[in-house]
Amino acid sequence: MKKLPVVLLSLCLLAVLAVSCAKDESSATNLTGATDAILVQITEGAAALVEENRIPVTFTDGITKDNSQSILYVSADDFEANVEDAYAESALMSVAHRVALIKCKDAASAKKISDLIAGNFNSGWMICVTPDSSWTLVSGQYVLLVVSKDDYADAALQSFEELAGKDNVKSEKFYTIGDALPEGDGGGLLLG
């Protein structure tokens, strides 16, 4: 009878230890290195999977709190509170194409930024052309925004999953061609 409390206490301690050592799936990722270099790996991986004539001509630019509203549709305050580093690759021509990689402060911040983008992003920012689909993907503290034609979007998603580890990626498709677009400001047109 004296051993019962000791056994129960031991079981409780084991349960606490098991919970504290459990892997937090939401913060797992295989992504390492500088954010801009990871974005290059993702876009090069996507380009290898798409026909050459389907790859848009792009430029890469850093995202800051000053331009986060026009590129990601995330306010300067939310960007500053949640993001460490971010870069976007956008089309130089009249193609609705943007791929952005955002390194957030932690997994909870990544979830928040992903939700803000999915809830606020205007896939009709180019006014006269729209993408086939718009996605956010989250892996640990990283968020990938993919806005493009379906073949490129699928390739970018596959490239990101290969780099981050497929089991570490949560994706959300928040726009499909034909969906209603928000009214009002188109964002930043070509440079936005």
Residue pLDDT, tens place only, 147-182: 999 999 999 999 999 999 999 999 999 999 888 876
pTM, to two decimals: 0.79
Q: How far is CA 171 from CA 33, 63, 88, 178, 185, in A?
A: 22, 21, 18, 20, 27
Give per-residue pLDDT as tens, 80-93: 999 999 999 888 77
